[in-house]
Amino acid sequence: MDIPFEVRDAGYSAIETYKNALPYGERWATMVALQAPPGTKGTDRAFLEGRQNNEQLNDMPKRQAQYVSREAREAGISISGKYYCAGIADKRGWRDPAAWVTSNDDVLRVARKRRLHVTGSVNYDPGEAPPKRVLLSESIIKDEMRKEKRKHPRAKDGELREKIIDKHAYKVKNR
């Protein structure tokens, strides 16, 4: 009989429990012996498996791991017990404090805040972004300012800009 190493590491009572539960299936026997359910998608246990104590740095070349941890510390980030999730990082990369997470909730919070589409252990789709409303296109403002500058060379740019926006922009209440 081949007993899984996790069960052997758990001790004599776990081995006995495993043997007694084996007729019901190997996976069931392992779960009962270890008194732990299998990791399932969406749980912090499944998300942090092999990631908790900066284990991701162990897979990097030593020099690169030291560089990443030093840069994060210099940015004021405590990486102890955290996992760097590159998919939610902004342009700062590992210097982004929000990219160092401790749970699924952290990933979801950042994805919502930054309107990021994420899939995997955490699934979030922000949907389509609402259109950005602009009073008047910058190109139209520049063209009109050139025309007005020819007519009124001493006029100030700020005043001309306001005049053009008031004249050409879409009229809405409370603007």
pLDDT per position as a tens digit, 122-148: 889 998 888 877 778 889 889 988 998
Q: Does this model's pTM top 0.85? A: no
Looking at the predicted structure, is the pLDDT value of residue 52 above 80?
no
Those residues whose C-beta lies under 8 Å from the C-beta of residue 126, and which sit 6 or more positions away, are 111, 112, 115, 116, 117
- The position carrying tokens 């908790």 is 52
**Of 26 and 50, which is predicted with more confidence?**
26
Q: What was the pLDDT predicted at 44? A: 79
For 154-173, the pLDDT digits (tens) are 888 888 888 888 888 877 66
Q: What is the mean pLDDT of residues 103-112?
A: 92
DSSP H helices, the chain, are: 5-10, 12-21, 26-34, 44-48, 55-58, 62-74, 104-114, 138-151, 157-168
Q: What is the mean pLDDT of residues 95-101?
A: 93
For 31-42, the pLDDT digits (tens) are 999 988 776 777
Mean pLDDT for the chain overall: 87
Q: What was the pLDDT predicted at 23? A: 93
The DSSP secondary-structure symbol of 122 reads S
Pair 21, 29: CB distance under 8 Å: yes
3/22 Cα distance (integer angstroms): 10
Q: What was the pLDDT predicted at 54? A: 76
Pair 90, 96: CB distance under 8 Å: yes
For 9-27, the pLDDT digits (tens) are 999 999 999 999 999 999 8
Looking at the predicted structure, is the pLDDT value of residue 149 above 80?
yes
Q: What is the mean pLDDT of residues 51-70?
A: 86
